[in-house]
C-alpha cells in the first residue's frame, strides 16, 4: 500500500512537495519534473522552479550492498565487513557535503549529480570491486550484478513506500496517514537559509531538526488519533506460554559508543550513531566471544552476560552533549540531550505454536533496520507508542503522548533460528520471524525464546506550530536517514551461561514466569 493522503496546508506546499517527490537523479544528471509550468510561462520562471527543485534534494539514497551479501565465506567475512564500513563512511561524507552545499545546489541543477553523486558512484564501485575480489580469493562466488549497486540517487524527505500489514511490518500505522494536527511536512523542501543555519528557534527550515537533518513535523502523530492495531496469533495446544525476565538496568553506568561489533567488527564508529548498552560491559568494535565471556554484566543474574544495545534517544533542545563535536555525535547530525530510559524491560517469551529450544551461545540478532528510510520497510520492525495506548503501535511515526503518558519503544526480536549459525553474512538470514498470522516458524527453522524489549522515556511532548516541530525527540541514526522513526533498531548478543539458558527454556516451555 502506498502512502495515504495527508491534509495540505496550502497550494504552495502541495507544489513544493510534489516537485520534490518528482526528483530523479541518475547517470544523466539531475532531472527536475516541473508539473506546474504551463506552455505560456517565461523561461526564467521555469529556471527558477528547476533550481528550487534541485535544492529540495533532502538526502542520499544508496542501495544496501550488505543486504545483498547472503553467502560470504568465513575467510572473507572480516575483509568484507571492513569494506562495507567503508561504504557507510562514503555515504556519510557525501551526505555531509550535500548538507553544506545547498546554496550551490539551488543555483546549479547539475551540482548534486556532478559534485556529489557522480564521485560517490566511482568510490562505491571501487569498494564493490574489492568486495568481489575478497570473496573470490577464498573460493567464493560474489552475487551477480553487485556492481549495479554502485549508483546512488537523491531523494526528498518523504516517508518510504509501505505495504499492507500489522504493526511491525513497517507500514504506515497511524490509522489515517495524517500527522494528527492537519499540518504538513514543515519545510522539508529546500533549505531557506541556503547554508543550513538556524532559522526558527533551533529548527532548520530545510530538513528540520537542531542539526538540519530531521526530524520534521510530519514525523509525529498524536497517539490519541491512532486506532488500535495490535494483533497476535492464537496459541495452539503445543504453545510455550511461559516467560523469563532479565533485569539489567537502564545504562546507569553511562556506557556509550558509536561502534557496532555485529556489522562492523574492528571498525571504530562503525555505527555512525551513539548506542546505549546494558548487560555486557565489554562491548565495543574490538570485542570477541572471549571478551564477552569474561566481561562484567549489569544484569542482576550474573549468568546473563548478554549484550543488549540500541541507538540513544535524544531531545533536540539545543543542548551540547558530551559528543557534540565527536564522530557519531554532532559531527554526524546526532545532536541534543541524550535521554536515559526510565525502564528497560527485557523479557524472553515463547512461541504460539511450539516449544522452544535453547539459543546457541554468542548468537547475534539485529531487529529493525538503521537504514530503513532509504532501504524501504522490509526489515523495519521497531514500534513506537505511549503508556496507556500500547494497543496501537507506530513504525514510521513518533508518538505525541498526552499529559501523564510516556513514550515507549518496543522491539520484538526474530524468534526462529536456522539451527546452525550464530550469525550470517548479512546478519539476518540465520534467524527469521514467526508467521504473524499463525506464529509458526518457517520450514527448516526452530523456535527459540523470543527477546522482547520495552523502553520507556519521560520526555516532554514536542510542540508543532506553523509546520515546524519545536524541541523534538528523535532516535540517533546515520545522518542521511534524517532521524526517521522507521530507522529504529535493536541489537542482541546472547551470552547466557548454559545453566541459565536451560532454566529459561524450561520456564518458557512449562508455562512459568521466571527471573
- Which grid cell is 104? 550551490
Please tell me the predicted confidence (pLDDT) of residue 160. 52
Q: Cβ atoms within 10 A of the Cβ of 325, count? A: 10
Q: Given the C-alpha cell 564522530, which residue does it identify?
A: 327
Please tell me the predicted confidence (pLDDT) of residue 206. 59
Q: What is the CA radius of gyration of the chain?
A: 23
Please tell me the predicted confidence (pLDDT) of residue 207. 82
Three-class secondary structure of residue 380 per DSSP: coil
pLDDT, one tens digit for every residue, the chain (515 residues): 333 333 333 333 333 333 333 333 333 222 222 222 333 334 444 344 434 444 478 999 999 999 999 999 999 999 999 999 999 999 999 999 999 999 999 999 999 999 999 999 999 999 999 999 999 999 999 999 999 999 999 988 664 544 433 333 333 333 333 333 333 333 333 333 333 333 333 333 458 899 999 999 999 999 999 999 999 999 999 999 999 999 999 999 999 999 999 999 999 999 999 999 999 999 999 999 999 999 999 999 999 999 999 999 999 999 999 999 999 999 999 999 999 999 999 999 999 999 999 999 999 999 999 999 999 999 999 999 999 999 999 999 999 999 999 999 999 999 999 999 999 999 999 999 999 999 999 999 999 999 999 999 999 999 999 999 999 999 999 999 999 999 999 999 999 999 999 999 999 999 999 99
Q: Pick from 419, 427, 417, 368: which is nearest to 396 by CA?
A: 368
Please tell me the predicted confidence (pLDDT) of residue 306. 98
Cβ–Cβ < 8 Å for 69, 80: yes
The sign of the torsion formed by the CA atoms of 321, 326, 329, 333 equals: positive
Please tell me the predicted confidence (pLDDT) of residue 176. 35
Give the span between the Cα atoms of 284 and 258, in whole angstroms.
Answer: 8
Query: How distant, in Å, are the alpha carbons of 157, 169, 365, 466 from that of 489?
Result: 20, 13, 11, 31
Strands (E), 93-239: 153-155, 220-222
Amino acid at each position: 500500500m502506498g502512502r495515504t493522503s495527508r491534509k495540505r496546508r496550502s497550494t504552495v506546499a502541495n507544489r513544493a512537495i510534489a516537485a520534490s517527490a518528482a526528483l530523479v537523479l541518475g547517470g544523466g544528471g539531475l532531472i527536475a519534473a516541473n508539473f506546474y509550468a504551463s506552455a505560456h510561462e517565461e523561461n526564467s520562471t521555469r529556471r527558477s522552479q528547476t533550481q528550487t527543485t534541485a535544492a529540495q534534494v533532502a538526502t542520499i539514497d544508496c542501495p544496501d550492498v550488505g543486504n545483498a551479501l547472503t553467502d560470504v565465506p568465513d575467510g572473507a567475512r572480516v575483509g568484507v565487513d571492513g569494506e562495507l564500513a567503508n561504504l557507510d563512511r562514503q555515504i556519510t561524507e557525501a551526505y555531509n557535503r550535500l548538507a553544506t552545499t545547498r546554496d550551490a545546489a539551488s543555483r546549479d541543477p547539475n551540482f548534486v549529480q556532478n559534485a556529489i553523486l557522480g564521485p560517490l558512484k566511482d568510490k562505491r564501485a571501487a569498494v564493490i570491486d574489492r568486495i568481489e575480489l575478497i570473496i573470490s580469493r577464498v573460493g567464493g562466488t560474489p552475487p551477480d550484478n553487485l556492481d549495479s549497486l554502485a549508483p546512488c540517487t537523491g531523494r526528498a524527505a518523504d516517508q518510504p513506500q509501505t505495504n499492507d500489514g500489522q504493526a511491525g511490518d513497517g507500514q504506515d500505522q497511524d490509522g489515517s496517514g495524517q500527522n494528527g494536527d492537519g499540518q504538513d511536512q514543515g519545510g522539508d523542501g529546500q533549505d531557506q537559509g541556503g547554508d543550513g543555519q538556524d532559522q526558527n528557534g533551533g529548527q532548520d527550515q530545510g530538513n528540520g531538526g537542531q542539526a538540519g537533518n530531521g526530524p520534521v513535523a510530519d514525523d509525529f502523530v498524536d497517539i490519541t488519533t491512532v486506532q488500535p492495531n495490535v494483533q497476535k496469533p492464537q496459541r495452539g495446544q503445543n504453545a510455550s506460554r511461559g516467560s523469563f525476565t532479565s533485569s539489567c538496568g537502564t545504562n546507569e553506568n553511562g556506557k556509550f559508543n558509536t561502534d557496532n561489533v555485529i556489522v562492523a567488527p574492528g571498525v571504530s564508529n562503525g555505527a555512525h550513531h551513539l548506542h546505549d548498552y546494558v548487560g555486557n560491559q565489554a562491548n565495543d568494535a574490538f570485542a570477541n566471544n572471549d571478551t564477552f565471556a569474561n566481561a562484567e554484566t549489569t544484569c542482576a543474574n550474573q549468568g546473563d552476560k548478554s549484550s543488549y544495545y540500541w541507538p540513544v534517544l535524544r531531545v533536540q533542545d539545543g543542548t551540547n552533549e558530551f559528543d557534540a563535536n565527536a564522530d557519531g555525535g554532532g559531527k554526524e547530525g546526532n545532536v541534543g540531550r541524550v535521554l536515559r530510559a526510565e525502564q528497560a524491560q527485557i523479557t524472553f517469551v515463547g512461541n504460539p505454536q511450539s516449544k522452544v529450544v535453547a539459543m546457541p551461545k554468542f548468537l547475534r540478532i539485529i531487529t529493525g533496520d538503521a537504514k530503513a528510510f532509504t532501504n524501504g520497510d522490509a526489515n523495519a520492525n521497531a514500534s513506537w507508542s505511549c503508556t496507556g495506548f500500547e494497543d496501537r503501535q507506530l513504525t514510521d511515526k513518533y508518538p505525541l503522548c498526552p499529559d501523564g503518558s510516556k513514550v515507549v519503544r518496543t522491539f520484538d526480536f526474530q524468534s526462529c533460528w536456522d539451527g546452525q549459525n550464530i550469525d550470517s553474512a548479512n546478519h539476518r538470514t540465520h534467524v527469521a520471524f514467526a508467521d504473524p498470522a499463525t506464529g509458526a516458524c518457517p520450514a527448516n527453522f526452530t523456535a527459540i525464546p523470543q527477546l522482547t524489549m520495552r523502553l520507556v522515556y519521560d520526555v516532554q511532548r514536542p510542540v508543532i506550530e506553523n509546520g515546524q516541530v519545536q524541541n523534538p525527540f528523535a532516535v540517533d541514526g546515520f545522518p542521511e536517514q534524517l532521524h526517521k522513526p522507521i530507522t529504529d533498531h535493536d541489537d542482541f548478543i546472547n551470552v547466557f551461561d548454559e545453566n541459565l539458558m536451560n532454566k529459561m527454556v524450561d520456564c518458557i516451555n512449562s508455562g512459568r514466569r521466571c527471573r
